[in-house]
A = this chain, B = another copy of it.
Amino acid sequence: MKKLINSPNTFVRESLEGMARAHPDLVRVHFDPTFVYRADAPVLGKVALISGGGSGHEPMHGGFVGHGMLDAACPGEVFTSPTPDQMHEAAKAVHGGAGVLFLVKNYAGDVMNFEMATELAHAEGLQIASVLVDDDVAVKDSLYTQGRRGVGATVLVEKICGAAAQKGYDLARLTTLARRAALNGRSMGMALTSCTVPAKGSPTFELGEGEMEVGIGIHGEPGRQRMPLAPADSIADMLSQAILDDPAYTRTIREWDPSTAAWKEISLVSEPLRRGDRVVAFVNSMGGTPLAELYVLYRRLDEACAGSGIHIERTLIGPYITSLEMQGASLTLLRVDDEMLGLWDAPVKTPGLRWGI
């Protein structure tokens, strides 16, 4: 294992310490329990937006804390969901009196830990809501799986909802927006190499020189399928067709209802992309794939969208939701309307995403 770390045990903590020192104007880091929060938190009267998940996906989520995006992020160990006390303490630290929205990626661990945190925060008297992101079209059904993983769309949903929270949306309106944004995102990823979890010290899986994994998530887990390595255009075609051809997707999920202070099962449908839709297109590096290759993929994605009558309104290209040093990429299309587009364009000032300010 070759990494610029001191030890697997101290990696997450030292990395967070470095981030805090590098961006003292933007973020602070609290330890025991661990969470990253806005340097100017709490922002009074604003809904606090909080996310979190395992580490190893940087800049997500800690790098998205700041003006116009997250109020706090809770990093777990590498690829391990954070624990409920982290979210609970973060919520207490950053809430500004207007409630808290948890944005949760759909993984068994994240979901359960956030559920417990939600109950804790509610018991503490906090007004709390939670929305799930589950955009990975590589996972086909929701009945015979844990449901679709939350991947690339998470970044876009955090940006859009962060802008809305900054603009003063109340908790109910923000929750509705977050659910709508999440339902409009679709992603698919692939890997050229495995990553190496520091504590394990060896690659999670082995791939031959002529092979790739298609339909991967963001935790170094193997994908749906191992295939012969293909040219970038074929890969872009395969991923973008999976997204563009993905039919309506229905699932039942549990969401915390702040009005009744209870979990309710709701059935949600994500509508397929259709000719004439407007999207934000996101080409993401899994960590070890350089920017120049992402642009090769984007070139083809742009053609594919044009061919399907999908209008790319904005782009995001780079390593934003990563799997350590894995080589590979994911594509995300998020259907937007004027409201979401305006929120996308709104100023954001975080270590990982910044414009307009």
Report which A residues bind B (CB closer than 8 A): 2-7, 11-12, 14-19, 21-23, 55-56, 58-59, 63, 192-193, 209, 212, 229, 231-233, 235, 283, 287-300, 302, 315, 317, 319, 322, 324-325, 327-329, 349, 351-352, 354-357
Most-contacted residue by chain B among A212, A291, A299, A324 (CB, 10 A): A291
Check B231 against A292 for contact (C-beta < 8 Å): no
Closest to A190 in B: B4
Check B63 against A15 for contact (C-beta < 8 Å): no
- How many chain copies? 2
**B residues near A58, Cβ cutoff 8 Å:** 290-292, 295
A302-B21, A317-B22 given; A292·B235 CB < 8 A: no
Chain B nearest Cβ from A61, distance in angstroms: 12
Check A6 against B327 for contact (C-beta < 8 Å): no
How far apart sit A315 and B327, CA to CA, in the bound complex (Å)? Answer: 26
The 7 closest A-B pairs by CB, nearest first: A18-B295, A18-B299, A4-B293, A2-B192, A18-B298, A58-B291, A58-B292
Check A295 against B19 for contact (C-beta < 8 Å): yes
Question: Could you pull out 15 A-B pairs where Cβ atoms are within 8 angstroms?
Answer: A2-B229, A4-B192, A4-B235, A5-B231, A6-B232, A7-B231, A18-B302, A19-B295, A22-B295, A22-B317, A56-B292, A288-B288, A289-B325, A319-B319, A356-B357
